[in-house]
Amino acid sequence: MDAAHRTAISDALSRLADGDRSAFTALMTELWPVVLAFVRKTVREAADAEDVAQEVFVKVASRIADYDRTRDGLTWVYAIAAFEVRTHLRRLQRRREAPPLAEDAEPADPSPSPIDLMIDEEISRTLVDALGELSDADRALLGIGERIADKGVTSTAIRKRRQRALGRLRTVWSKLYG
Amino acid sequence: MVDQNELRKRALRAYEFGRLRMSSRVLLFLLPLGVACVLLSDNRIVCALLALLIGGLAVVLRWLHRRGVEAVEIGLKAGMLPLAVSIALMQWGHSSSPALTISACSAAGALAGAWMGYQLGRARAGIPVWLASAIVALAAAALGAMDLGAGGLVGLSASYIASVAVAGSVGRFRAMQLARNG
């Protein structure tokens, strides 16, 4: 998704949070396909995915009055969508659950669920964005990108520089994502 | 296939309910205040009606637009000083002295009006926000000043309106000066 699309979604959410009802059409056009695509990635059944996507969209609409315009709109929407999808998957799992079996029952699958993978992907993307704001030297100190020659520098100095680079990464992160 | 029209209707309904829920939060502050004023007042029915009017007005203004949220916030803040002064006058038994009542109410009204006018002037608020804030502030002040008689109410309102006008002009002038200086 490009930056213009993200901005358009945030803009429509901000206008609606202000009480401008005319932004609803823009929200519907910009956000509905995004929500549907997000839910389809995690819910396999097409009919179920559409139902869940509708629930997500209605939930987003009902919470717009509390939307904080300083935050990224799409991240806010994804948080609501992830919660709804997780609730749906849990409900499905409960429905499918067989009555308790003997000791030979299979243990629960320890691998991450599709929704966890999607959230990890979103976090990785935001981390890459935050790292992009750092200088080459800071990135090198954090073990990303090309290593800069550090002849004659003690290990203590390198550790301290790394700590400072981490501090700057924290500042950039909180500036970008609150 | 998703029926987009049906979804739009559902989402719009949910949106309006969401706004109503957000705007009703002001009642958490106004309800206890209204109950306290009704209990302290001699004229309970009129006071209760006025409290209901303020509650309804605050919820509707907040529901309509963000500017309504700001207007209610500023109006309520501005109305608190005259309200507190009126209640104090009543409780300490000074309401029998018309001169003291009128001067105290006028002073409180002037201070509240000056503060509100300056805030709205600086924010370069539009006429609807001015009107909404003034109505909320005066209604909140009247909640306490009702038992003080017509003199107190008139003094409060007149000084309030006069100081709002003066402070509003000053605030607007300052905002324009700041904008011009960059």
Q: What is the pLDDT along chain B (182 residues), one digit of tens a residue?
A: 778 889 999 999 999 999 999 999 999 999 999 999 999 888 889 899 999 999 999 999 999 999 999 999 999 999 999 899 888 888 777 666 778 888 888 898 899 988 998 888 888 888 889 899 999 999 998 888 777 777 777 888 888 888 888 888 888 788 888 888 76
Question: Residue B27: what pLDDT?
Answer: 95
The answer to whether residues B132 and B75 touch, using CB atoms and an 8 Å cutoff, is: yes
Question: Residue A62: what pLDDT?
Answer: 95
Rounded Cα distance between A44 and A32, Å, is 18
Ranges of each domain in chain A:
1-97, 111-178
**Containing structural domain, residue B104:** 4-180
Burial code of A77-101, b = ≥16 C-beta within 10 A, e = fewer?
bbebbbebbeebbeeeeeeeeeeee
Residues of B with CB below 8 A from A62's CB? 14-15, 17-18
Question: Who among B8, B11, B65 is closest to A18 (CB)?
Answer: B65
Structure tokens at A51: 């139902």
Looking at CA atoms only, how far is residue B44 from chain A in angstroms? 35
Residues of A with CB below 8 A from B2's CB? 36, 50, 53-54
Question: Residue A178: what pLDDT?
Answer: 55
Which of B21, B66, B67, B72 is the best residue to mutate to test the A interface, defined by the most A CB atoms within 10 Å of its own CB? B66
Q: Is A64 on the interface with B (CB under 8 A)?
A: yes
A65:B18 CB<8 A: yes
- Give A3-60 pLDDT, tens digit per residue: 888 889 999 999 999 999 999 999 999 999 999 999 998 887 888 889 999 999 999 9
Rounded Cα distance between A70 and A175, Å, is 11
Residues of A with CB below 8 A from B21's CB? 65
Question: Who among A20, A60, A62 is closest to B17 (CB)?
Answer: A62
Question: Residue B172: what pLDDT?
Answer: 79
- Give A150-178 pLDDT, tens digit per residue: 667 787 888 888 888 888 888 877 776 65
Residues of A with CB below 8 A from B10's CB? 54, 58
Select from 3.20.20.150, 1.10.1740.10, 3.40.190.10, 2.60.40.10 the CATH code of A1-97. 1.10.1740.10
The answer to whether residues B133 and B78 touch, using CB atoms and an 8 Å cutoff, is: yes
Q: Is the pTM of this model over 0.90?
A: no
Q: Is B126 on the interface with A (CB under 8 A)?
A: no
B8:A28 CB<8 A: yes
Match 């100190």 to its residue by tokens: A141
Structure tokens at B92: 């300490």
A24:B22 CB<8 A: no
Q: Which residue of B has its CA nearest to A66?
A: B22
Contacts of B98 (CB under 8 A, 6+ apart): B149, B151
Q: Is A22 on the interface with B (CB under 8 A)?
A: no
State the total domains in chain B.
1
Rounded mean pLDDT of chain A?
81
Looking at CA atoms only, how far is residue A49 from chain B in angstroms? 11
Per-residue pLDDT band for A100 (boundaries 50, 70, 90) equals low
